Amino acid sequence: MPNPIARTEDIELRLLLEAIYLKYHYDFRGYAMASVKRRLNQARERFDCRSFSQLQDKVLNEPGMMDELLTYLTVQVSELFRDPAYFRAIREKVVPHLKTYPSIKVWIAGCSTGEELYSFAILFREEGLEERTMFYATDINPEALRKAEAGVYDLERMRLFTENHRLSGGKSSLSDYYSAGYGAATFDKSLRKRTVFSDHSLVTDAVFAETQMVSCRNVLIYFNKDLQGRAIGLFRDSLTRGGFLGLGSKETLRFSPHADDFSDFSRDERLYQKRGAH
């Protein structure tokens, strides 16, 4: 078996990621490489490059190339109320705790195009928490953040979103929150009046607020273990004692150096609670 580091292709991949970091400060060096390599190979083919080195030349010297590459490097696939059981557990188990706080801050880390944010905003409105809550929706991809802020989705996705919302224990009709037209569903802008959208990197940036809940789902799977450790460290430092961390349905704190800082709160739904002190 070839030594993975010694292969030319892998050397070129590392140099490409280094170049992207040095020039644009997007740091993909600690990402899970199998997926990064696959996606950069797609980009390489799309831009007619023979090698990652050629792609590196392009991204260093051609304006606009980095934005193009970002769409390959950042994954933008989500749903409203994805994994309804997660939102049901938040509704039934987390909300009663959050209700004891006079003001609540929720961080949607890696919000991508906003589906998770709108899910939270709707749930918090239904549960009567919206008026005392501030949401932070962060991502590294400015184009995704623009889409999140716009809150416009394909109308054909609404059937799935509506079903997810119902399964999450939704107390209203999802259609109350968007207007439909020209094949698009535009979510009511009042849903984001208490949201700050911001460019933030879990890789290179620091904690920016004390929060009572962090939801970061299907983001950590793209990181290697070291980077996962860094991100989870940020969440721990941001969360207030007893604050809640929600991960994706197949993500786990089990392999994290910070696992001891959290306790299982709702195991199947991957909801964790920060322990008293650290």
Question: Which positions lie near other proteins, rule CB under 8 A?
Answer: 1-2, 4, 10, 32-35, 37-39, 75, 77, 83, 85, 218, 220-222, 224-225, 228, 248-252, 254-255
Which residues are bridge partners to 277 per DSSP? none
Give least dist CB 249 to other proteins, A: 6
Taking a C-beta distance cutoff of 8 angstroms, is the pair 105, 133 a contact? yes
Question: How many residues are given for the chain?
Answer: 278
- In this complex, which beta carbon is closest to other proteins, that of residue 5 or of residue 206? 5
Give least dist CB 228 to other proteins, A: 7
What is the identity of the amino acid at 12?
E
Give least dist CB 107 to other proteins, A: 20
CA separation for the pair 113, 180 (Å, rounded): 18
- In this complex, which beta carbon is closest to other proteins, that of residue 1 or of residue 206? 1
- In this complex, which beta carbon is closest to other proteins, that of residue 191 or of residue 216? 216
CA separation for the pair 106, 125 (Å, rounded): 14
CA separation for the pair 171, 165 (Å, rounded): 9
> In the chain, where does DSSP find H-type helix?
8-24, 33-46, 52-61, 65-73, 84-89, 95-98, 115-126, 142-150, 158-167, 225-238
Give least dist CB 194 to other proteins, A: 28
Give least dist CB 141 to other proteins, A: 14
- In this complex, which beta carbon is closest to other proteins, that of residue 116 or of residue 130? 116
Taking a C-beta distance cutoff of 8 angstroms, is the pair 113, 77 a contact? no
Kindly report the three-state secondary structure assignment for every residue of 87-141.
HHHHHHHHHHHHCCCCCEEEEEECCCCCHHHHHHHHHHHHCCCHHHEEEEEEECC
- In this complex, which beta carbon is closest to other proteins, that of residue 191 or of residue 247? 247
Taking a C-beta distance cutoff of 8 angstroms, is the pair 181, 105 a contact? no
Give least dist CB 151 to other proteins, A: 21
Give least dist CB 173 to other proteins, A: 23
- In this complex, which beta carbon is closest to other proteins, that of residue 38 or of residue 241? 38
92-121 burial string, b = 16+ CB within 10 Å, else e?
eebbeebeebeebbbbbbbbbbbbbbbbbb
- In this complex, which beta carbon is closest to other proteins, that of residue 28 or of residue 177? 28
